[in-house]
Amino acid sequence: MGHAVETVESAWNLYKELKLPTIRKPKTDIQVWEMHIAPYLGDKTLDSVKSIDILRLRSTIEAKNLSPQSVHHVLGLLRRILRKAIQWELYSGPLPIFEMPRVQNERTRFLTLDESELLLSELKRRSELWHDISLFALSTGLRSGEIFNLLPEHINLSAKTVAVVDTKSDNRVVPLNSAAFKIAENYLARNAGSYLFVTMHGNKIQFAGKLYRRAVEACGLNEGIRDRRQRVVFHTLRHTFASWLVQGGTPLAVVSRLLGHSDIKMTMRYSHLAPLQGREAVMYLESYMQNPLRSTEKK
């Protein structure tokens, strides 16, 4: 390939040239490389990196009190670099063993009806835009990035649906309830040919910022909560959407499809919210089986 690639650092340079332009947040990988990988393994030749080096790197970064998710990110980046180096025939391998930390990062917090009304009321007092975005999220279960990437053509007012495309999983179509439909209709009417939801200056919204966080704080929804997985963030609206559906009796397979989960295992985190669904299903089966028998006996 014309590159004299011998060290982990030179493999990283090639990875940065060929792969980083294709990912969403290249700056994060650059920071991870510079802070955690380069100082420890940058000068080593590719064929000299052994499994014990990976284990020692993990111990080194864990000693910095990084979260399991951050440790996972560091090791994951190094593994991707080495895999690409083998794929590009920069060295023959084998790939060292990576003992990845177990990450329990799933957020399970969802809002009660009273909490959602309180938050929406506070948001409406501060910003009509963020009230509408939040209510749209609560009504559709879309991820923040999916909402901020919506274009006018993704809304079908006749079918009352929103098309979610170019997302983390397969494209999907989500029905609009009356609240989401009204919001979509209003923003389509005022749209100037850009994204469905934009800032007051007409720019693309990148993330839920200070205004949303301050509204959450004003409502006291995170007061006394230390576990960050239990804190109310914008993503909590998506969890609330799913939790309310499951509590209302919606089958997990349907919830999974609406959320756009690539694996229904991701949806199973909500299964504890509907403990009676299994019993009701079995009782229905018993009733279904008995009815034909009764009909036969009567004959």
In this predicted model, what pLDDT tens digit does every residue of 43-94 receive, in sequence order?
999 999 999 999 999 999 999 888 788 899 999 999 999 999 999 999 998 9
CATH number listed for the domain at residues 8-87: 1.10.150
Domain with CATH 1.10.150 in the chain: 8-87
On whether the CB atoms of residues 216 and 210 are closer than 8 A, the answer is: no
pLDDT > 60? residue 293: no
CATH number listed for the domain at residues 113-276: 1.10.443.10
- As a whole number, mean pLDDT of residues 120-148 equals 96
- As a whole number, mean pLDDT of residues 183-197 equals 93
- As a whole number, mean pLDDT of residues 95-124 equals 88
Confidence of residue 17 (pLDDT cuts 50, 70, 90): very high
Burial of 41 (0-12, 13-18, 19+ CB in 10 A): buried
- As a whole number, mean pLDDT of residues 136-148 equals 95
Report how far residue 261's alpha carbon sits from residue 90's, in angstroms, rounded to the nearest whole number.
36
pLDDT > 70? residue 2: no
Domain with CATH 1.10.443.10 in the chain: 113-276
